[in-house]
Structure 1
Amino acid sequence: MGKGGSRPGRRRRGSAGDVPRRAGLLRERGFRLYWSAQSVSLVGDEISFLAVPLAAVLLLDAGAAEMGWLTAAELLPSLLLSIPGGAWADRRTNRRGAMIVADIGRFAAVASLPLAYAFGALTMAHLYVAAFAVGSLTVLFRVCNHHVYASVVAAERYVDGNALLSGSRSVAALAGPSTGGAMVQALSAPFALLMDALTYLVSAGCLGRIRSQEAPPAPRGEGGLAGGLRWVTAHRTPALLLAGVATLSLCQTLTTTLFVLYGTTELSLSPGAIGAVFAVFGIGGLAGAYAAPRVVRRIGIGPAIVTGFLCFSLPLLLVPLADGPAAWVIATLAAAYLGAGCGVAVLDISANSYLIAVIPPTLRSRVMGVVQTANFGVRPIGAVLAGTLGTALGLRTTLWIGTAGAVLSVLWVLASRLHRVRELPELPAHQARAEDVERAL
């Protein structure tokens, strides 16, 4: 988002022009290819999100502790590699090429699972190794991603571009789990994983056709490995935002890690029913993606971020409340994920637009490495905690701890000045020094 993207008083409310503006972005070849690559990969991710844990539970009889370690294996690279990966990416001239390599590597790692199953050699150890490999390559993909995004989207259209991407994420959340659940139930988890693997090849093909000029590499010696961390800690508003993101992500992981086990064992839901519940999350996400640009223009970027935090976390309190007849359980879970899906879309669109706009381009990957550490790096900790607490305290009690902590995460953002920020700084990010950006905020 750029110079006027979040000025609620200078744009028409009700914005009938929202849809044409986003459609205009899709007519631009570079963004269309980028959006297509992201969209098809997201569908595959959602299929594997359900198929991998179901493979562990249904094929290998995994328990709570093993489910925790499986989730941790995929997310541990976010904790270990995001900051050094960001420093590496900032010094590259072709981050798009690195994203293509990451896609091909993820294809190979995921495709190895159905291949092993076909030969009767699938084990939990193989699942751990494949999950760690996919997680490592995903870190590489993500730290390069914002450079490519900024090369195909003008600054003043960041919110609209992120809204389209969030819409794709929501469609994937809607179609992926239900498709994955149906595939697992009718065919097998390995077959669903094969479909996921192929989506990475499609993504790599789309990225390979993009022709855009990325930001130049950072000069050697500028900030070094810790440059992104120093930028974040020097700026109170982004630092407290990331503290809130880390807390929300940690607590939400407690819920997601155990949800499949909770649904299948304590609630007696079928794979298809679990997939349908996750699909409702996508419906909420579509609503949130449609509403987010209007919310930002009406109340401002900071209040939109606070709204996203609350709308994401509060509905999740319904998850440990689910009990009774199957129809009531499914309705309760559907309401939780409908609201959470809407909230996370508003949060993602507003927070991503804010961060892309205020981070200096020469520090973009390093700062985004810190962001990925805050968002994804804490998740292996949450996954291990989920397995430990789930075994010691029970699944429902652990879910209560996770959902209550997620609600309280907004206190970090309220302690900052972000909720008073209505528009982004006028100074273009590519000209801004760190101290100028902080003064503008």
Structure 2
Amino acid sequence: MVVKASFQNSLPLSEPLPLRRQRDYRLLWTARTISVTGSEVSKLAIPLTAVTLLTASPSQMGLLTAAASVPALLFGLQSGAIADRLSRHRPLMIACELVSCAAAATVPVAWFLGLLNVTWLITVALVIGSAGVLFKAANFPHIAAVVPPSQRTDAMAGFQACYSVASVGGPSLAGLLVQVLTAPLAVLAEALSFLTSALLLRAIRTPEKNEPAVSRGMWRDVREGLRASITNPVLRTLLGAGVTINFFAMAYTAVYMLYMVNTLNIPKALIGLLIALSGIGGLLGAWATTRLSRRYGENRILLASVIFFPIEILAVGLLNGPLWWKLSLLSLTGMITGGIVVAFATCMGAITLRETTPELRGRVNATMTFAVQGVLALGGICGGALAEIVGLRPVILICAAGIALSTVWIWASPLRPRRPRPAPTPTPDFTPTLHQSLDSAIPSKRYSGLN
């Protein structure tokens, strides 16, 4: 149970301070922003190290790329069970950041010593990925300790904004660091970001009073999380919509670059700018979601946002014309989609927190992450294979139609507000006569359409 005294710098529960004025939330948000930005740097620096310094083969690059997502499939469900067993989540989060820091720091050290090879990089990616899985499992329930219930949607929007900040600034910072310091030394920036995040988390003062769930064994705990995610109608809806969106989104991503360059003839230098505009749209989406949710609620925002999900992909699939028109439409739809994705993810996180009991939050979040992240690889494989058969443009149009199916998940669920049924007409106290009974069976002119 969350008590009023557990929130730093808060007024009475009905009027909490704005999140930007709450010290511990600022620390938590800053820690995530710095850590995620460092990860964005490594997404460029580590592959460049493998390609330019270690002359990695295509198969080795494939293993290196897969190493980042493998831990989510191997340990994702178990990480949620571990998080739910803890009375305090922050120590685990700090430990994960320190382990990631140490792993990233070995890359420049091994390079200086002449020991660096592709296997080393793959091992580093596996360690950082595993620590990241545990961190995310603990971070989700930890938010409930730092942020009052009435402000959790705002907090979720803030965290989504930090990902948008990282997506905009991370690649540019990575390119600069690689140019100035070389790729292995650029990885050191990721190590420093993890260390900074750990120090900021250490400075949070909000006491955690989580009631650990009673463990019945790892796999039984995991099954409880799976059961809760599937049997709860709202959680099942979010899970189904998330899997649908991510599958078709990754199928689209698999052919996106080829289609943009070879079919639409978009200059390669401008593709990065279009991606950055999507990140800017995410920032605007986070700002708008915090305000709209107070007026309309998370359910209505989710219902509205899912309708617009296919817009960008549909526009890309149908796009023709001069370059200025292509760039204008892609910029507009990219910013809109960036905002829509953040709005959807924010409300999805807030509703998941609301619908899940405290003792199951870690496992339910881990189940969601396992499903929506695990389907990414399958979507990418299917998108690439289908493009070989039917071509690039048909695959993109199929992906637009597939993502539109998420609308069915959301709009056919309990998240959609139902109109209350009219109250039944009270039965009269007296016994009607035959004449009165016959009259009641004859429709009046008002409803029969007679004049």
Q: Same fold (TM over 0.5)?
A: yes
- The percentage of counterpart residues that share the same residue type is 34
> How far does residue 81 in structure 1 lie from its aligned partner after superposition?
1.6
Q: 2:364 aligns to what?
A: 367
Matched letter for residue 102 of structure 1: C
Match of 1:82 in 2: 76
Alpha-carbon distance between aligned partners in 1 of 2:284 and 2:373, rounded to the nearest angstrom: 24
Indicate the structure whose relative CO is greater, using CA pairs within 8 Å and at least 6 residues apart. Answer: 1
Deviations 1:369-414 (A, max 9, x none): 1111122222233344455556666666554544442233222222
Distance of aligned partners of 1:61 and 1:204 in 2 relative to their CA distance in 1, 3 Å threshold: same
Matched, 1:136 2:130: yes
Identify which of 271, 293, 298 aligns with 1:296: 293
User: Which range moves more in the overlay, 44-53 or 348-357?
Assistant: 44-53
Counterpart AA for 1:77: P
Does 2:89 match 1:95? yes
CA deviation after TM superposition for structure 1 residue 50, in Å: 4.7
Tell me which of 163, 166, 181 is aligned to 2:160: 166
Matched, 1:381 2:381: no
Which amino acid in structure 1 is aligned with residue 139 of structure 2? N
| Contact 1:85/1:369, CA 8 A, preserved across alignment | yes
Note if contact 1:68-1:386 (Cα within 8 Å) is conserved in structure 2: no
- Post-superposition Cα deviations, 1:196-243, rounded to whole Å, max 9, x if no partner, equal 332111111111122221412112339622111111222122102211
1:141 deviates by 0.7
- Listed one character per residue, the Cα deviations across residues 121-150 of structure 1 (whole Å, up to 9, x for unaligned) are 766655544333332221101110112111
What letter matches 1:34 in structure 2? L
- The aligned residue for residue 351 of structure 2 is 354
Summarize the Cα distance change of 1:52–1:260 in structure 2 as closer, same or farther, 3 Å threshold.
farther
Q: Distance in 1 between matches of 2:324 and 2:117?
A: 35
1:306-339 deviation per Cα after TM superposition (whole angstroms, max 9, x unaligned) = 3233334422334456677766655454334211
1:122-271 equivalence runs, <5 A: 125-184=119-178, 188-211=182-205, 212-221=207-216, 224-257=221-254, 259=256, 267=265, 269-270=267-268
TM-score by length of 1: 0.78
In the superposition, relative to structure 1, how do residues 421 and 134 fare at CA in structure 2: closer, same or farther (>3 Å)? farther
Cα 1:255–1:122 change in 2 (3 A) is farther
Residue 193 of structure 1, CA deviation: 3.4
User: 2:42 and 2:250 mapped to 1: Cα distance?
Assistant: 16
Higher mean Cα deviation, 330-339 or 143-152? Answer: 330-339
Counterparts of residues 263-342 of structure 1 (less than 5 Å): 267=265, 269-270=267-268, 273-320=270-317, 330-342=327-339
| Structure of higher CA gyration radius | 2
**Which residue matches 1:9?**
none
Q: Is 1:412 equivalent to 2:412 in the alignment?
A: no
- CA 1:400–1:80: 2 relative to 1, 3 Å: farther
What RMSD over aligned residues (CA atoms) do the two structures have, in Å? 3.5
Q: Within 2, Cα distance between the matches of 1:196 and 1:96?
A: 20
Residue 154 to residue 193, structure 1, CA distance change in 2 (3 Å): same
Query: What code does the residue aligned with 1:411 have?
Result: V
Distance of aligned partners of 1:61 and 1:295 in 2 relative to their CA distance in 1, 3 Å threshold: farther
Q: What is the distance in 2 between the residues matched to 1:111 and 1:415?
A: 49
Partner SS for 1:419: coil
**Aligned partners of 1:142, 1:83: CA distance in 2, in Å?**
12
Distance apart, 1:110 and its partner CA = 3.6
Structure 1 pair 334–44 and aligned structure 2 pair: CA distance change class (3 A): farther
What are the ranges of 5 or more consecutive residues in structure 2 without an aligned counterpart?
3-14, 420-451
Q: Which amino acid aligns with 2:360?
A: L
TM-score (norm 2): 0.76
Quote the offset at 1:258 in angstroms.
5.3
For 1:401 and 1:342, the matched residues in 2 are separated by 23
Asked if the contact 1:258/1:386 (under 8 Å) is kept, the reply is yes
